[in-house]
Amino acid sequence: MKAVYIHIPFCKSICSYCDFCKMFYYQPWAAKYVMKLREEIEDLYNGETIKSIYIGGGSPSVLTIKEITYLLKTTKTFNLSSNYEFTFECNLNDITEELLLTLKQYGVNRLSIGIQSFNEDNLGFLGREHTFDEAKTKMVLMRKLGFNNVNLDLIYAIPGETIKTLKEDLKLFLKLEPDHLSTYSLMIEPHTLLWLKGIRPIKEEEDALMYETICKFLKKNGYTHYEVSNFAKKGHESKHNLVYWHNEEYYGFGLSASGYIDNIRYTNTKNLTKYFQGNYRHTEEILGVKDKMDNEMMLRLRLLKGINKEAFEQKYHVKMESVYPIKPLLKNKDLVLKDGYIFIPEDKIYIMNEILLKMI
C-alpha cells in the first residue's frame, strides 16, 4: 500500500515564517490548478491501494467550495483501503459548516489546523490572526459534525517567548482536546519574511528547554510522544506521516510536491507555468541500496520506538552493525537496544541530528 500527498499552494496571506511553496490566491489560477491536478493524478497514479491521503499547502481551505469539491471528486480516482486516513489542512478562519460538510461528504476523516499559538504577541510576530474563543467555537462545530481525529499545530521558540508563555499556550491547546499535536521549533528559513527582516533564532539552550517543557507537559496530560515533534492520544498517531518515517513509498502531486515511487525520489516543479504545461517533475533520483538504508535509519530513528533490528536485516540482507557504527553508539548511550528495537533515548532525542551524523 502507498500514500498520497497533494499540495495546494494558495493562501489568503503569507505567514512571516513560511518557506513552503505558496502564492496569493487568484481564482483563475486556482480553478486551472485543480484541473491540472486531476490530469497529473490520472497520468501518474498506477492503481495501487492507498492507505492515506493528505491535502496540504499552502492553505487548501482557501479554495472555493466549488474548487474543493472538484479536488475531492478527483481523489475518488484512488483505490482506498478500508481503514484509510484522509487529512485536509485548514486555516481556522476558513472553517465553516459548509466546508466541513463538503469534506465529510467526500470521505475526509482527519483535520489538521494551523493554530501555532494563542498569544497575541506570538500571533502578530507570525503574521496570523485568531483567538482562543474562535478556535473553541470551530472545534465544537468540528466535533458536532463527526470529526473525531483533529490535529493542531503549535510553534514554539519564538523570539520573546518565555517558558511561562509557552505553558499558557499549552494549557489553551489542551482545553480544545485535540487528538494529535504537532509541535515545531521556529526555523528562520532563507527568503521568508522573518529572514528578510534580519530576525535570528533564539539560543539553542532556550529552544531545548522549551522542547523539554512540551514533552513533559503533554506526556503528563495523556499524550504519547511517538515521534520527535509529534504527540497523540492512543490510536491517533498520524498514519500518513508514519508512511514517511517508515520509509515507505508515496505519491506527491501538485506544485513542489515530493514523492517516492519505485525506488525513485522526485520533487515536482515550483514553477506554476511549467506545471500548467504538464512539466511536473523538477528532479528525480534513483536510490541505490545504501541510499535506501540510510533513509531507513534516519527516518525511523525519528520515532521514539526506533527501528526493528531484525526487520532491517531481513529487508536489506545485511547486518546493521556491518554498515553503521551501532556498537560504539550503544556503548556511549547515544542509542539503546531493547526488545529488538534500536532507538535514541528520550533524553537525547533533541540532539538526534548529531547522533545521526555520527552514524551516517
pLDDT single digits (tens) 42-94:
999 999 999 999 999 999 999 999 999 999 999 999 999 999 999 999 999 99
- Domain boundaries in the chain? 2-244, 306-360
Give residue 183's pLDDT. 97
**DSSP per position, 267-297:** EE-S-HHHHHTT--EEEEEE--HHHHHHHHH
Taking the C-alpha atoms of residue 228 and residue 240, their distance in angstroms, rounded to an integer, is: 15
Q: What separation in angstroms does the CA of 99 have from each of 5, 127, 247, 344? A: 20, 24, 33, 41
Tens digit of pLDDT for each residue in 251-283?
Answer: 999 999 999 999 999 999 999 999 999 999 999
Give residue 56's pLDDT. 97
Give residue 112's pLDDT. 98
pLDDT at 19 over 80: no
3-state secondary structure at position 57:
strand
**Mean pLDDT value across residues 205-234:** 97
Give residue 157's pLDDT. 95
pLDDT at 17 over 90: no
Tens digit of pLDDT for each residue in 116-154?
Answer: 999 999 998 888 889 999 999 999 999 999 999 999 999
Give residue 23's pLDDT. 86
Give residue 224's pLDDT. 97
Nearest-Å Rg of the Cα atoms of the chain is: 21
DSSP H or E stretch at residue 300: helix 289-300
3-state secondary structure at position 108:
coil
Give residue 16's pLDDT. 72
Candidate from 104-113, 183-192, 205-214, 252-261 with smallest mean pLDDT: 183-192
Give residue 193's pLDDT. 79
pLDDT at 36 over 80: yes
Task: State the chain's mean pLDDT as an integer.
Answer: 95
Give residue 12's pLDDT. 87
Banded model confidence at residue 20, pLDDT cuts 50, 70, 90? confident
Give residue 226's pLDDT. 97
Tens digit of pLDDT for each residue in 153-202?
Answer: 999 999 999 999 999 999 999 999 999 999 999 988 887 778 888 888 89
Angle between helices 97-105 and 132-144 (to 10 degrees): 40
| DSSP structural state of residue 303 | B
Question: What CATH number matches the domain at 2-244, 3.40.50.300, 1.10.10.60, 3.90.190.20, 3.20.20.70?
Answer: 3.20.20.70
Give residue 189's pLDDT. 81
Give residue 13's pLDDT. 75
pLDDT at 234 over 80: yes
Give residue 195's pLDDT. 83
**Mean pLDDT value across residues 344-360:** 93
